[in-house]
Structure 1
């Protein structure tokens, strides 16, 4: 999936209009629309704002991969919760979906398994 497609899907996941995202990023709606259409590419600073706003990594935004899109979003967001819960909650207006929590639990479970495995070795 390429950058314009990911950008549109991320926006639609949050049920936002292009104008809503453009306002949050401090850019014109037409500029944001051109990103989703693949007519323009954002500069580095805007890319960082986009990644922060949607709670995903730059790597995720920029890689053209065929991974399951939704699972990757949940995994990225779960990692952000585990790294800094207060900042994550503030960025998401306190919204955490059950899927994000499931992904966080999977990460924690894997970490615990790895920790037990290292202790037994």
Structure 2
């Protein structure tokens, strides 16, 4: 999530604050690895996450109601901020360090070309 959100913020010229404790997580994932690891994987584990988008605060309730009518859950996990704020991660009001985010398919690794 954080890698893709970073691209959206850069392209839009804004910053954002993400509240880690608000991330929607699968109960099966939490059972498998625990709450903290599930949150870390949701933030920076790769491409297996939900759709991330923004909506003006004034339209939030209308959007949530419209999506509920289609059986789609939506969760507010943060807010858009001025660009100078950058990307911020919080948990219960406490600022956290940003973890490594996403998977870079083009980064060097152990595979060598022949």
Higher helix share: 1
Q: TM-score scaled by structure 1?
A: 0.22
Higher relative contact order (CA 8 A, sep 6+): 2
Higher strand share: 2
